[in-house]
Chains A and B, each alone.
Chain A
Amino acid sequence: MLKGADLKKSYRGQSILDGVNIELEPGKISVIIGPSGSGKTTLLKVLSMLDPPDAGTIAVDDWNVQFPLEKGKKLEPPWPKLTVVFQQLFLWPHLTLLQNITLPVFLRQGKEDAEKVEELIDLFEMRGFIYRYPNEASLGQRQRAALARALLLQPKYLLLDEITSSLDVEQVAIILTYLKKLAQAGIGILTVTHLLHFAREAADNVIFMDSGQIIEKGGKEVLLSPSQDRIKRFLSVIEAAT
């Protein structure tokens, strides 16, 4: 299980995460929703330890660490068992999309899993642009490549930040189906999204964040009948917009 306990994070004296407790079970899809600036992306950065919390505990199965770190202790997060795909994607610009996807796994295993690569290329319909460089591909194409890069590493916990934001309905459906398949295979997925239909279809658990705190969490019922007016208002705005 991926577990974050009492996570706190501040930037320039302003609290961004204020005592967040979160759990992600293997084989489950948890969806984080909430208004802009509520701390969703920061929570992913903190949980992935790219931007470690000021205080709190993070545990990934048997591995765990308490923040702040003891003096002289070096943080060695269990990447890529836990990995993350950010909205900005961060594809390496000097490599083609295919090289972006295969380089990490090649460096870890000394070879690529050609069958798996082919499967992902076909699944995400990337054959037509797989030899392009990131700046020659559209945002949607880059999003698929970034997701494929993470998936090829076969993580146990996958954190996704708005990775469907530039995909068309058909692509979102393909990714949704694949995420469900990954969850069935035992991967725990924590995703930030603004797409309510995506959340409704995908989520085993829904987490609603506001002002750096989780203000409601539960099953899909959170989306259908939230207990707080703040969430009702937000959901109606999102519903109207989409």
Chain B
Amino acid sequence: MAVWDILTRYHTAFANGLIVTFQLALIVWSAGLLIGTVLGILGAKWTFLVGIPSRVLSFALSGVPILVFLFWLHYPLQSMLQVAIDGFITAAVTLTIINAFAVADVIRGVLSDFPQQYVTAGMVCGMTPLQVLVYIQLPIVLRQTVPVLLMIQVNMLQATLFASLISVPEIFRVAQQINAQIYKPVEIYTALGVLFLCICLPLNGLALWLKARFTRDFSEK
């Protein structure tokens, strides 16, 4: 049975798995970007109150493998709290936390290092604070952050695969279940790889294009 045969024969199962994967990814992307952006802005504004604690937590999180963090939140923590939360929600919360701190790191770094003289130039030219924000700060910050943030979101999409290990019926879980029935690991996981390539490569390409297009070297001669 070839890769294409597996994809067509089990297309409903793969489609259902993809839907769950995308639902999970959409939650992780939107919540992570929103929370991370707010956290990053607050961290740049209030270094001691928000910035440093956020960096410490981010540093600690970066030392814990995603899988261990996911398992810890799903099993020991819920056991300690004597609650049973659906695996999908646990995965969404876990990945959102990781995404939010990664996004916050990027946003805070760019905002903290933003050259204040560009704001000054706008002010003496009679621009309002809102105009300076919209026409000067945001375009420069977005140029620097969007490609990096896009790369992080591609990584988060790939990280949704870990949700299969706490029984979330996403695409990897579906692949495992199909493999358990027909035992064609090479074909099935190749098919999965092809699916992810089709989704992630264009996103990576977009990130690289944005990086090449907008993150020019600003340094002056």
B217's nearest neighbour on chain A, judged by CB, is: A135
B218 within 8 A of A: yes
| A interface footprint on B185-221 (CB within 8 Å = 1, 0 otherwise) | 0000000000000000000000000000000111111
A8 within 8 A of B: no
Determine the distance from Cα of A88 to Cα of B127 in the docked complex, in whole angstroms: 19
B60 within 8 A of A: no
Determine the distance from Cα of A128 to Cα of B79 in the docked complex, in whole angstroms: 71
A93's nearest neighbour on chain B, judged by CB, is: B218
A104 within 8 A of B: yes
| B interface footprint on A78-99 (CB within 8 Å = 1, 0 otherwise) | 0110011000101111100000
Q: Is A79 within 8 A of B125, CB to CB?
A: yes
A136's nearest neighbour on chain B, judged by CB, is: B221
Q: Is A107 within 8 A of B221, CB to CB?
A: no
Q: Is the interface of B mostly helix, strand, loop or mixed?
A: helix
A133 contacts across to B, CB distance below 8 A: 216
How many residues of chain A have a CB within 8 Å of chain B?
A: 26
Determine the distance from Cα of A48 to Cα of B126 in the docked complex, in whole angstroms: 12
A150 contacts across to B, CB distance below 8 A: 125
A89's nearest neighbour on chain B, judged by CB, is: B121
Q: Is A153 within 8 A of B125, CB to CB?
A: yes
Nearest Cβ on chain B to A128's Cβ, whole angstroms: 16
Nearest Cβ on chain A to B182's Cβ, whole angstroms: 54
A50's nearest neighbour on chain B, judged by CB, is: B120
B136 contacts across to A, CB distance below 8 A: 92
B52 within 8 A of A: no
In the complex, number of A-B residue pairs with CB atoms less than 8 Å apart: 61
Determine the distance from Cα of A103 to Cα of B136 in the docked complex, in whole angstroms: 10
Q: Is A153 within 8 A of B118, CB to CB?
A: no
Q: Is A134 within 8 A of B126, CB to CB?
A: no
A94 contacts across to B, CB distance below 8 A: 139-140, 143, 218
| A interface footprint on B106-130 (CB within 8 Å = 1, 0 otherwise) | 0000000000011011111111000
How many residues of chain B have a CB within 8 Å of chain A?
A: 22
Q: Is B216 within 8 A of A48, CB to CB?
A: no
A91 with B218, Cβ < 8 A, contacts A79-B126, A83-B126, A104-B126 known: no
Q: Is B118 within 8 A of A107, CB to CB?
A: no
A108 within 8 A of B: yes
Which of B125, B216, B217, B220 contacts A149, CB < 8 Å?
B125
A88 contacts across to B, CB distance below 8 A: 117
Q: Is A139 within 8 A of B221, CB to CB?
A: yes
B121 contacts across to A, CB distance below 8 A: 90-92
A90 with B123, Cβ < 8 A, contacts A135-B217, A135-B221, A142-B220 known: no
A79 contacts across to B, CB distance below 8 A: 123-126
Determine the distance from Cα of A94 to Cα of B122 in the docked complex, in whole angstroms: 13
A48 contacts across to B, CB distance below 8 A: 124
Which of B124, B140, B218 contacts A84, CB < 8 Å?
B124
Determine the distance from Cα of A135 to Cα of B216 in the docked complex, in whole angstroms: 10
B123 contacts across to A, CB distance below 8 A: 50, 79
Known A83-B125, A149-B125; 15 more pairs at CB < 8 Å: A50-B124, A83-B124, A90-B118, A92-B118, A93-B140, A93-B218, A94-B140, A94-B143, A104-B125, A107-B127, A107-B131, A107-B135, A138-B221, A153-B125, A153-B126
16 contacts between A and B (CB under 8 A): A79-B126, A90-B117, A90-B120, A92-B122, A92-B136, A92-B140, A93-B220, A104-B125, A104-B126, A108-B126, A133-B216, A134-B218, A135-B216, A135-B221, A150-B125, A153-B126
* CB-CB nearest 9 A-B residue pairs: A80-B126, A104-B125, A90-B121, A93-B218, A90-B117, A79-B126, A135-B220, A83-B124, A79-B124
